[in-house]
Amino acid sequence: MLNIGLLGCGRISQVHAASITAHPRAVLAAVSDPIEESAAAVGERFGTRYTTDVESLVEDPEIDAVVIASPTPTHVDLLTRAVEAGKWVLCEKPIDLDVARVDACRERIGDLTDKVMIGFNRRFDPTFADIHARVAAGRLGTLEQLVIISRDPAPPPAAYVAASGGLFKDMTIHDFDMARFFLGDVTAVSATGTNLVSPEIAEAGDIDGAVVVLRGSTGAVCTITNSRRCAFGYDQRLEAFGELGMFTAENQLPTSTRFSGADATEVAAPYLNFFLDRYMPAYAAEIDAFVTAIEEGRPFSPSFEDGRAALVLAEAAQQSLRTGAVVDVPA
Ligand SMILES: NC(=O)c1ccc[n+]([C@@H]2O[C@H](COP(=O)([O-])OP(=O)(O)OC[C@H]3O[C@@H](n4cnc5c(N)ncnc54)[C@H](O)[C@@H]3O)[C@@H](O)[C@H]2O)c1
């Protein structure tokens, strides 16, 4: 059994707490949050001990691995302490908001980066993973084009936006990872952004929509379309196109029930709303991949380097947005 400690007891941590508790070969050994009420709520809900002393949990000899689900600016410090204390780490995305800080961390911990997996949960979505496996097996021949559409149902609160690092590092970061998952290394990025959704986001100096074009080292291209608002719910689609055909991943519904009447046909319920519903199976599969990789001594995927590479693309997109130029990405 793998004893896992949880750092941070907010929104996403509760999903991880549920997946760890349900996993047959993992134990939620303890949870921690500087806010006692938050630590107690998650500890009591999942029947495990809790503490406000986050560092004590990182040092705890009874804990084999930690899941870092605290705010992004705390990730690098916590993962450094955790790997130096001998723990395996599953760290939420993004790894940080600044590539220079990630590089300083990499310099300090060296090979201990191998002990870190990054929480790009979408790689574990059953549909995306299925398409990825079929593309990797050659079903499309050469992959030529990838289309990723990711739109949130509604914009986040202004306070969230102010601390988020901006659309590319907060939201598109998942899509940058998905692009790399399919295309491998990306060599060039161009991005354009819009402010058509939320005046608060514009006031915070951020964009609320974007289209990004990525060129892969194989010559394949990827477009990413993002919006912070979508009238019909959480829009998560993907298209992989190649020599021999195309795979598509469509939006998901809670049931297959349809209504047909005098004024409409084939009316369905709204799509699964937002990430906690849409990606629930992916979060559970992510925890399973973390536990299984540790048991079998296999490298983590997505790795520390994958976390860094997605952040490099976010910074390149930011530069392209600012300058209007296509930005080359160093190998
Ligand atoms: N993979 C995904 O789909 C996904 C979804 C949501 C959030 N996230 C990421 O997860 C992280 C947390 O996001 P959230 O939405 O759950 O935030 P949240 O604000 O709901 O929760 C964060 C919790 O961490 C606690 N905290 C603050 N400082 C801490 C510290 N030093 N050590 C431990 N805990 C600390 C806070 O008190 C809070 O309870 C962010 O990095 C975010 O980008 C990932």
pLDDT for res 269: 87
Residue 225 per-residue DSSP state: E
Residue nearest to atom 21 of ligand 1 (CA): 10
* Rounded Cα distance, 169 and 184, in Å: 19
pLDDT along the chain (331 residues), means of 10: 97 96 98 98 97 95 97 96 98 97 98 98 98 98 98 92 93 98 97 96 95 97 98 96 97 92 92 89 97 98 98 98 96 79
List of residues 6+ apart from 119 with CB closer than 8 A: 90, 91, 92, 93, 286
From 6, 19, 33, the mutation candidate for ligand 1 (largest count of ligand atoms within 8 A of CB) is 33
Q: Is the CB of 14 under 6 A from ligand 1?
A: no
Rounded to the nearest angstrom, the distance between the alpha carbon of 7 and the centre of ligand 1 is 9
Q: Are strands 49-51 and 209-216 parallel, antiparallel or unpaired?
A: unpaired
Q: Is the CB of 54 under 6 A from ligand 1?
A: yes
Residue nearest to atom 41 of ligand 1 (CA): 72
* Rounded Cα distance, 57 and 182, in Å: 36
pLDDT for res 162: 87
Q: How far is CA 202 from the centre of its chain?
A: 24
Q: Residue 58, SS3?
A: helix
pLDDT for res 80: 98
Rounded to the nearest angstrom, the distance between the alpha carbon of 83 and the centre of ligand 1 is 19
Q: Is the CB of 164 under 6 A from ligand 1?
A: no
Rounded to the nearest angstrom, the distance between the alpha carbon of 173 and the centre of ligand 1 is 16
pLDDT for res 318: 97
pLDDT for res 297: 97
Q: Which of 230, 120, 234, 116 is nearest to 174 (CA)?
A: 120
Instruction: Give the CB-side neighbour count of residue 10, counting CA atoms within 13 A.
Output: 10
Q: Phi-psi bin for 138: left (phi > 0), alpha (psi -120 to 50), beta?
A: left
Q: Are strands 245-249 and 235-242 parallel, antiparallel or unpaired?
A: antiparallel
Q: Is the CB of 163 under 6 A from ligand 1?
A: no
pLDDT for res 159: 86
Residue nearest to atom 19 of ligand 1 (CA): 10
Q: Is the CB of 38 under 6 A from ligand 1?
A: yes
Rounded to the nearest angstrom, the distance between the alpha carbon of 78 and the centre of ligand 1 is 12
Residue nearest to atom 31 of ligand 1 (CA): 74
CA dihedral 249, 252, 255, 258 (to 10 degrees): -80
pLDDT for res 331: 79
Q: Is the CB of 92 under 6 A from ligand 1?
A: yes
Whole-model pTM? Answer: 0.96
